[in-house]
Amino acid sequence: MANSGWSEKVLQLLRRMNNFYLPGSFRAHCFRFEVDGAQVGWIPPHVAPLLTRYPDVFSPPRGGAVALCPGLDTYGRRSEAVDAVLQTLRQEDFLTCLRGWRDEQYSVMQKFSDPPVMWMERAATSLFGVKRYGVHLNGYTVGEAGEVSMWLARRSNTKQTYPGLLDNVAAGGLAAGVGIKHTLIKECQEEACIPAAIAERAHPVTTVSYTYEDEEGVFAESQFVFDLELPLDFKPKVGDGEVHDFYLLPIEEVKDLIATEDFKPNCAMVVLDFLIRHSFIEPDTEPHYQDFVAALHQTL
């Protein structure tokens, strides 16, 4: 049977990363964020009152929803109006998430396949609970005897979020107007010096989706996951300074690590998905198998 201590720790991680759905979350007190009649996010209860100060941009809360004013009827007008509000709130410096301003534009839409209705600064997305998308790469090797190992990154101690924790070999957020595979190849080159000729061989395999809340707001995220078998003689190198070092570890050791506090939580979820898909975790021996699978694919 599986290690029950490991299983419980992984289950706790998954519950933490999906705590927006759990009893006692502030979901019941959130306002739907609507643009042109469609819900595109969740506005936390501490944020909605701030928006009433901007009646030219946000309609007053009504029927459990806060909407953009109808006069903001184009992608550009919506984006510019909301950004002006966010810049003002940033100057007031009491919303801690805005201290992490990145000048990165994220698309806002109801579903990923929909045309975006506007863009929003990445650091502000948790204030509106809009879905954020990213790409993550499982970089692994298969030895001559068939043994699987995985490359992990150790995040730089100067990273704004989760400094010093273990990470996938390459990952990054999906900026507005930039393709998924293009983003993956760019992140591979920038973070791990994986040449495009190798990165292009990566296969899209799944999405890992989850929603959690904390004091900064609602984080609704969906990661496009790729697998890439790397050559045995290839070693990732530190590129843009976001990574401290890389390690090639046996897959059983990686499995143990995802149950520790040493791993960036959403990256641990991506690795867990890899372990399930490659049969390193099996339903006959893992009592929480179905719980794991369900928690990796939670969507609003």
The predicted-structure confidence for 22-64, as pLDDT tens digits, reads as follows: 999 999 999 999 999 999 999 999 999 999 999 999 999 999 9
Please state, rounded to an integer, the average pLDDT across all residues of the chain: 95
- Supply the DSSP string of 175-214, one letter for each residue: -TT--HHHHHHHHHHHHH---HHHHTT-EEEEEEEEEEEE
For residue 266, the surrounding DSSP H or E stretch is helix 265-277
- Is position 300 within any domain? no
- Are 8 and 146 members of one domain? yes
Q: Which domain holds residue 217?
A: 4-21+132-295
- Are 137 and 264 members of one domain? yes
Q: Is 264 exposed, middle or buried (0-12, 13-18, 19+ CB in 10 A)?
A: buried
- Per DSSP bridges, beta strands 170-173 and 105-108 are unpaired
The predicted-structure confidence for 184-233, as pLDDT tens digits, reads as follows: 999 999 999 999 999 999 999 999 999 999 999 999 999 999 999 999 99
- Are 88 and 139 members of one domain? no
- Are 285 and 152 members of one domain? yes
| The total number of residues written for the chain in this structure | 300
CATH number for the domain including 123?
A: 3.30.750.160
Q: Quick one: pLDDT at residue 105?
A: 95
Position 248 pLDDT exceeds 90: yes
Q: Quick one: pLDDT at residue 2?
A: 56
Q: Quick one: pLDDT at residue 1?
A: 47
- Per DSSP bridges, beta strands 65-67 and 31-35 are parallel
CA distances from 226 to 78, 205, 209, 237, 279 (A): 33, 6, 14, 19, 17
Q: Quick one: pLDDT at residue 91?
A: 95
Position 3 pLDDT exceeds 80: no
Position 4 pLDDT exceeds 90: no
Could you tell me the two tokens for 233? 């003689």
Q: Quick one: pLDDT at residue 73?
A: 95
- Is position 214 within any domain? yes
Mean of pLDDT values over 11-25: 96
- Is position 283 within any domain? yes
Mean of pLDDT values over 260-288: 97
The predicted-structure confidence for 148-163, as pLDDT tens digits, reads as follows: 999 999 999 988 889 9
The predicted-structure confidence for 182-195, as pLDDT tens digits, reads as follows: 999 999 999 999 99
Position 240 pLDDT exceeds 90: no
- Are 124 and 35 members of one domain? yes
Could you tell me the two tokens for 36? 């042109």
- Is position 37 within any domain? yes
Q: Quick one: pLDDT at residue 300?
A: 65
- Are 125 and 136 members of one domain? no
SS3 (DSSP) at 30: coil
The predicted-structure confidence for 80-130, as pLDDT tens digits, reads as follows: 999 999 999 999 998 999 999 999 999 999 999 999 999 999 999 999 999
List, in order, residues 6 or more apart from 51 with CB less than 8 Å away: 43, 57, 58, 66, 85
Where does a domain end: 85, 106, 129? 129
How many domains are contained in the chain? Answer: 2
- Are 72 and 173 members of one domain? no
